[in-house]
Chain A
Amino acid sequence: MADTIIFQSKPAREAPIKTEGLVPWVKTNLFANWQSTVTTLVVGALLLYYVPQFINWAILTATTTTNADACRADGVGACWGVVKEKYRLIIFGRYPFEEQWRPLVATLLMVGLLVASCTRYFWSKWLIIGWVVVLSAFFILMYGSLFGYFDVFGLTKVTTDRWGGLPLTIMLATLSIVLCFPVAICVALGRRSNLPAIRTFCTIYVELIRGVPLISVLFMASFMFPLFMPQGVTVDVLIRVVVGVTLFAAAYMAEVIRGGLQAMPKGQTEAAASLGLSYWQTQFKIILPQALAMVVPGIMNNFIGLFKDTSLVYIVSLYELTGSLGLALNSDADWRPYKLEGYLFIVSIYFVFCFAMSRYSLWIEKQLNKSKLR
């Protein structure tokens, strides 16, 4: 008697757990276990309590009227009218009102140049010419004449003590980073040189500058620089501050570049030496191009830091973005109570610039790593 074997199909396997979509995401990220659930509930409750209050203040009950009395009424939230009323003073500082198209055009040119310099499409020798053209156009527009000698296009002269706001912030950051670059390369090479005197000088310079706050360098530029100059020579405060910020930034930049130099394998130098290249040929044709490409993210970080640090010149009475806000509101009794709104306005300007730069830094890092991914 043989048992008859009857084919029986097995039950189908269960479908795999769904891991995509909203519901599974919420399950794994918000309610994975009891600790996570408690955290979600507590944090969510706090958010639900405070975020609507903020939205209510900033948007729903806010006014944009330029009448300060209307802001004082009960139940009115943020008073954005202060920005509407004062934005030209905040963005351009004390620059003469009817001439403010000039800093606007100059700033747009400068920002355009910076964006172009960050775009791969424009990376060619023409970019250097672009820099020269745009920088001179910037100063002609802002100052009204070139080096004070040639009056161009009949623009009225605007002395540097009236410059302010966003154009000054962007100019200080850009100029300092461009000027500090050659200094930083020399110092970085000097710190790795095998000539003891030069190495000592470069090390002392870097450690000295990195050990003191920027504000003491700015105090030096504004109080001590006039004493350093020979009798009768006066240097514009803007130039003094640019020199101070440049020397400060150069020390930090030199350390970033030195990091790149240290990461270069020794074989590169030896290969260059065996080809008979001189020291400077080796550095400029072999070492620096590779080392600089390696530290582009560090350079970008420095630039972001410098952009934020320009706000410090406010302490030595140059009215860049932070200073011009104080200029616009401190003396105006009507609008002074709405300073917070003004602060939030310039915070958003700084944030947009810095955030864009940090995103760019991530992108460029990925671009430069392409050659290492096979």
Chain B
Amino acid sequence: MAVAPRTPPKKRDWSWRSQAFRGLLYQVIAVLLIGGVVWWLASNTAENMRIRGIKSGFDFLTQPAGFDIGESLFSFDSNNPYWKAFLVGIGNTLRVAIIGIILTTILGTMVGVGRFSRNGLVRGICYGYVELFRNVPVLLQLLMWYLIFTELLPDISEAKNIGPVFLSKGGLTYPGPVWESGHLWILGGLIAGAAAAWAYRRWATTQFEATGKLRSMFWVPLIIVLLAGAAGWVAGGMPNQWQIPTKGEFAIEGGSSLTPEFLAVLFGLVLYTAAFVAEVVRSGIQSVPRGQSEAAQALGLAKGQEMQKVLLPQALRVIIPPMTNQYLNLTKNSSLAVAIGYPDVVSISNTALNQTGRAVECIAIIMLVYLTTSLSTSFFMNWYNSKSAIKER
């Protein structure tokens, strides 16, 4: 008895047995479900706002803010509009995040490398540091630093000092230059120097590939940049005025200063994140097989070349993605500054929310700011990562 040949099911078939149809159906259901939930939430919100008489919209941004901000990158007073207050907040967030990222990278790398030290004492301290600081919540660390900076340090009148640097409950005061237009020339000189150094490196690389002659790739560019900066300083009329802080009766006068809030946020974030960065660096170094450094030595590379050309590029490949995550974590954790009153964007939004009652708009601003910084940081780091990734044929 011959078996009738079974026809295979058609690719697109309006029946439950077609995978394509089921897939389409699931997607339609998902879209309807999510759209329905979003619509339900939005209509509830609109209804609630109408009943409670809450106004919506971003028109409040142009009204005067009515509150003062303790520290800001540019001048701000309570008559300025809300949008300017938010700008101050964003500036403060970026300031603590950028300085924090730089310091964290330095400290974390030092501790991570320290875990491989031949000195047992250094190894032990680095291990103890990592375990202690990453197992305590960052908020608690921020609060502790704030307590130390505002209550346990001496009063302003008894400020401790090392030379012209003063440390007290009022924060850290240090000598700063008197800013003049001549300083812009230094900046211009440094930028021109960086461009020249980049051109020099390109030329040296092509020369090396053509003739095999090695030229310094670090010291010469550095000297070019520094010389250009000095030339800019001379061209700008050699501004050399410094503001030296002096201890007065009730305050320390003159100089530049950092507030205790800023210091507490910076210390807390840097010490916490550096513990994680140290682990990232350690795993990166561990991931390079021993044979690589032995092979580099067998080829006769110098110690510096071995590190720069063989070990670091391979370790970086492992380090960069988790390092990006740590940078993003630091930026996001800077939002905890609201707990100790550092006027970052969350703190400003919180004040604006309490004053205007526009919860949706204020929280949207917070989220937008962090989303933008997160996405742009990860975009930059992805670009850097793809640059340092293995170039396969």
Contacts and interface: CB of A to CB of B under 8 A. Distances in A.
Contacts of B49: 227
A311 B27 contact: no
21 contacts: A29-B119, A29-B123, A30-B119, A47-B121, A211-B374, A212-B366, A213-B333, A213-B346, A215-B338, A216-B363, A219-B350, A224-B359, A227-B44, A227-B45, A228-B45, A314-B339, A347-B140, A347-B144, A350-B136, A358-B131, A358-B135
Closest 5 CB pairs of A and B: A29-B120, A354-B135, A213-B332, A197-B27, A308-B137
A216 B370 contact: yes
Which secondary structure dominates chain A's binding surface?
A: helix
Which secondary structure dominates chain B's binding surface?
A: helix
A43 B121 contact: yes
B115 to A, nearest CB: 14
Contacts of B359: 219, 223-224, 227
Nearest to B131: A355
B17 to A, nearest CB: 12
B147 A340 contact: yes
Given A198-B30, A201-B30, A223-B359, A32 B137 contact: no
Contacts of A212: 332, 366-367, 370-371, 374
A148 interface: no
Interface in B185-236: none
Nearest to A359: B131
B118 interface: yes
Contacts of B48: 226-227, 229, 231
A30 B125 contact: no
B349 to A, nearest CB: 8
Interface in A47-73: 47
B238 interface: no
B136 A197 contact: no
Interface string B358-371: 01100100110011
A244 to B, nearest CB: 12
A228 B147 contact: no
A210 interface: yes
Q: Identify the interface centre among A43, A44, A47, A311: most chain B CB within 10 Å of its CB.
A: A311
Q: Identify the interface centre among B34, B132, B144, B359: most chain A CB within 10 Å of its CB.
A: B359
Interface string A198-224: 100100000110111111100110011
A34 B246 CA distance: 42
Nearest to A309: B137
Contacts of B375: 207, 211
A312 interface: yes
Contact of B31 (A28, A197, A211): A197
Contacts of A337: 151
Interface of A: 25, 28-30, 32, 36, 39-40, 43-44, 47, 194-198, 201, 207-208, 210-216, 219-220, 223-224, 226-231, 304, 308-309, 311-312, 314-315, 322, 337, 339-340, 343, 346-347, 350-351, 354-355, 358
A339 B146 CA distance: 12
Given A39-B117, A212-B367, A351-B132, 8 more contacts: A29-B118, A197-B30, A198-B27, A212-B370, A212-B374, A215-B346, A315-B139, A315-B339
A43 B123 CA distance: 11
B28 to A, nearest CB: 8
Given A212-B332, A223-B359, A351-B136, A195 B34 contact: no
A22 to B, nearest CB: 12
